[in-house]
Chain A
């Protein structure tokens, strides 16, 4: 048998071929996604987003290029770090904050193929880096490089080398952070801890400025603080990159080499962190969370009766109970609901008692700002309301209930949260800024009555037309679709514009109650529109059930 002499398996394909195959696969997935209306909507929304980022990238590159040219040409090189720090901050923090624009590349599925580790690593690095922040920061670095090269052509090669290493440092840092966050998100317990830590970090980060503003003058003079900060930043990647270029420009090559070496060390350290995580993935990990048999209870269960909600039918009460239980187990979502009060606190601290003009939010605006922020946060839930249901979406179409009942229950819970948030914001605003005037409260609540039904209408429609499954085990996959995000933004712009026009008219006539009357009319129209939309939602749900099930019930 001649064929028995042939090798048992084909030789391992080279990494280049595999990377090419993945590129083709991703292109085919993209091309195939355009076959559906939802895919085409996503594509259009991405075009808008790409235009915005292109403007940011090229505009920023031009500005930073001019800045770099100026600091070198005018011998103000001590400001070079000030150009590199924004790039470093944007590159590292933007992907974490704005996950909607971040590439969430899941390479774990590639492990079934005969991929050697270097290919696996390369694929992860390349495809994980194809996101907006890398593109924008790459352009910005190019701008800085060109600016310096024009001002001091003799140093262009050195600048290029330093900034390439600086870019790689940022890239490795972001990839390492993402890889480790994914690791911690893979298990529910670590996920909960991560959620709390992330939330605390965000609050602490936002509190730094206001606290310094408020208390800083008592303990530390600003120049002293700045001097300390400048001294510290020299040992961090952006400072080191600036130092390496700056010292070279002053012909201090020894110091330049030292700074560059430290930058390379940072780069290597981040690369090592990234490698450790990927290596663990590559050799195989098990994040099974099933408790051991010994931990199982020997006590039998006596099921408790479900909730009753006065005036609502059993299925509606059951749906509401399910929604509340789901929310109570989504710690990340719960934490975001506290943010409106935190923001009011931050703004309050931001106000320097010695400088009343420093107040961003005054007593008059505290309540409206807090409520608007609460509504904005809630849009994350409203515009993708089936995201957490996953395979459970099938149940809504199997149970003897109308689809509108499902959405009414979800909307009921969202509206209740909004009402509670408004109350909490009112308490926080009263506590931090003094009790808001009645007319301000009335305007805000009437505007909310106008905004809430409108958001629920569009939220319901986009939840059906453009659903996206949440994957809590992977960073950056907890977001709504791009189309939903853009549509949500457009709805908020319309609501804010309409409310502002109503208030301006009220002010013009010297009576804000006139604005309230106008907003009340808009609210009545919005409520009527909501009712009409509910009447049509059964048909829409029926027409779109296959798409909903296909997207939400698929295993991730």
Chain B
């Protein structure tokens, strides 16, 4: 059996009495485009932070490419690229300086870092304003730069926390093109997003976390058949014979549908 790209065993994070992540067992196979979903506050960001070394787990074990994150963090980090929530950018550097810096911090030699910087800036269409400081970049430009920095060393796994949040259609297209190119080359991508349409279109496999617990995991088809087997006609807007959308699957699993209750918040209108 192949070593999974990402696997967690009873992964738990506790903040006082609060358990944002409670005994999560994840398994992501190499080369998968993996979508990690959940409602707000479900534990998505906490999980991805633990998987990337930004947050220490309270209990449990994380293995990345068969390496234990706790005992071999440097080797794990060498093999992964991350676009975290805050993008990890240095505002007072220019785009080329930041990419060069990122490349060298990941161990690339000077010439390789410079060459890849040039190529990435061109691919991301960030090469027109080389002297502009990152702090003056638009949000979309910053997202593209953060992704470029995350892939400059050629990672085997890419972690993306809400990569499409606040990004316009043009920048989003560039990001997707880059991700699809990486998947085609065998890179594993682990992505969290609230935009279910994008996840549905890009991801081959999914996991859903709800109230800190992993409530579903598998391919989209597996999740769909699982949901349909549970309650074949409950709350579906699809016509008979039509497949359930990811949004419908998601809502059924996390129980997020709200009935119209005119008594609630009546003062709003």
Contact = CB atoms under 8 A, between A and B. Distances in A.
Contacts of A289: 136
B113 A400 contact: no
A22 B170 CA distance: 41
Contacts of A402: 74
B92 A300 contact: no
A392 B138 CA distance: 17
Interface in B88-134: 88-93, 96-97, 99-102, 104-111, 113-115, 117-118, 121-122, 127-130, 132-133
A514 interface: no
B87 A391 contact: yes
B269 interface: yes
A297 B130 contact: yes
A551 to B, nearest CB: 12
A298 B105 contact: no
B160 interface: no
B107 A308 contact: no
Interface residues of B, number: 52
A303 B114 CA distance: 5
Contact of B93 (A326, A401, A546): A326
B88 A398 contact: yes
A94 B100 CA distance: 43
Contact of B107 (A298, A301, A303, A315): A315
A549 B87 CA distance: 12
Most buried by B among A308, A319, A400, A546: A400
Contacts of B82: 398
Contacts of A542: 56
Contact of A397 (B54, B117, B267): B54
A301 B92 contact: no
B222 interface: no
Contacts of A306: 100-101, 104, 110, 113-114
B32 interface: no
Given A301-B118, A394-B86, A398-B77, A319 B105 contact: yes
A556 to B, nearest CB: 11
Nearest to A289: B136
Contacts of B105: 315, 318-319, 395, 399-401
B52 interface: yes
A438 interface: no
B31 interface: no
Interface string A1-33: 001101000000000000000000000000000
Contacts of A302: 118
A198 B56 CA distance: 44
Contact of A400 (B75, B117, B128): B75
Contacts of B59: none
Nearest to B81: A398
Given A303-B99, A318-B104, A392-B90, A398 B127 contact: no
A322 B93 contact: yes
A4 B74 CA distance: 62
Contact of A391 (B89, B101, B102): B89
A2 to B, nearest CB: 9
Contacts of A317: 104
B259 interface: no
A164 to B, nearest CB: 44
Given A329-B92, A398-B77, A304 B56 contact: no
Nearest to B113: A306
20 contacts: A289-B136, A296-B128, A301-B128, A301-B130, A303-B100, A303-B121, A304-B114, A305-B114, A322-B101, A390-B90, A391-B89, A391-B91, A392-B88, A392-B91, A394-B86, A398-B82, A399-B102, A542-B56, A549-B54, A549-B86
Interface of B: 52-56, 74-75, 77-78, 82, 84, 86-93, 96-97, 99-102, 104-111, 113-115, 117-118, 121-122, 127-130, 132-133, 135-136, 138, 266-267, 269
